[in-house]
Amino acid sequence: MNLKRVVVTGIGALTPIGNTAEEFWNGLANGVSGAAPITKFDASLFKTQFACEVKNLDVEQFIDRKEARKMDPFTQYAMISVEEAVVDSGLDLEKIDKSRAGVIWGTGIGGLRTFQDEVTAFSSGDGVPRYNPFFIPKMIADISAGYLSIKYGFRGPNFVTVSACASATNALIDAFTYIRMGKADIFISGGSEAAVTEAGVGGFNAMKALSQRNESPETASRPFDKDRDGFVLGEGAGALILEEYEHAKERGAKIYAELVGGGMTADAHHITAPHPEGLGASSVMKIALEDANLKPEDIDYINVHGTSTPLGDVGEIKAIQKIFGEHAYNLNISSTKSMTGHLLGAAGAIEAIACIFAMNKGIVPPTINHFTDDEAFDPRLNLTFNKAQKKEINYALSNTFGFGGHNCSVIFKKYN
């Protein structure tokens, strides 16, 4: 069949290094770390006492107080980032066919704060079940897409993808597929997460997944560094307006980039550990390249999953070298998680936005916090350590991988 072209016409971001898309990019380009001691609860008894939190956010500037109380923070973050993206897109909501406009959102966990608070209140009470009537609708992962469709009146496909840290990229690929197959004209897509809670930090600590560099939070997320000791938990949201190319052109929309390919695979290996040889990671990049009808030599920049874990970083680089061969040495590779921390189910959305900005600005954001080389990584690779680098980028690939062995890759093309 004749597949439609899909373009990005609006972006919005709420991140630990900036509360708008432009602020987010400025933080990336300048190598700013979003990590700091946790302020959302007393973390003094936790093994990890820091995170990459959203900062200086007054939710009531964006959402009516009464409505905000009905939402978990992950939904609030979604609403705020999407509002920026919709305004940025210039969509006239009175003129579009809303039956052909949908919402596909991503989150790895959903309403963790709500679940924790409600269960804690019950367990510390007198045993009589007193639950907030909004407990369930605040907690469930799909409610974010529901709220968004209600706000904008989008009556097309509406759901949330849950594939751990691959969730937002999974959502983008699903929206991309619906549009290219002619089943919709416009999608709100992206992801949000708000897991900086006692349960979130405690749970990841129990898995030994988080960095415990409490004496120096801002240097704790150090992908590819020999002394990396785990990821830094982040929170926030990223939103993209995906639109069928002719639809966007007809209304005179500005176009940031074209989404040209995507891939999804499974490691089928372990519930939390990546495949040691990067088997799923290499196959998902191969599928994405084939889907985009590109050769490995066409890619200029890879925004890697790069979480700063001992095993994950190695497996991903092995996968890149397997797929890209000698061209791997011509690539710029970087992990923006070194600055934002790991936004879990929202990571793929903000990293897609990072790729789009990198193409349009001609700047590769750095992998900060590199202090000691690790012999596990080929020194000929350009991992864009510590400082941004200028580069003409025509195609950028973004990887996201999740617990359960979920792998997603997307490829963006610079729009001329």
Distance CA 38, CA 334 (A): 26
**CB environment 168-180: b (16+ within 10 A), e (fewer):** bbbbbbbbbbbbb
Distance CA 211, CA 342 (A): 11
CA–CA separation, 93 vs 110, rounded Å?
Answer: 28
Helix (H, G, I), strand (E, B) or coil at 186: strand
CB–CB of 367/338 below 8 Å?
A: yes
**Phi, psi (degrees; rounded to nearest 5) at 157:** -50, 140
SS3 state of residue 184: coil
* 129: β partners: none
Q: Which residues are catalytic?
A: 165
The one-letter code for the residue type at 233 is L
Element counts in the chain: helices (H) and strands (E):
13, 14
Give the C-alpha separation, 305 to 335, whole Å. 7
The whole-angstrom distance between residue 126's C-alpha and the CA centroid of its chain comes to 41
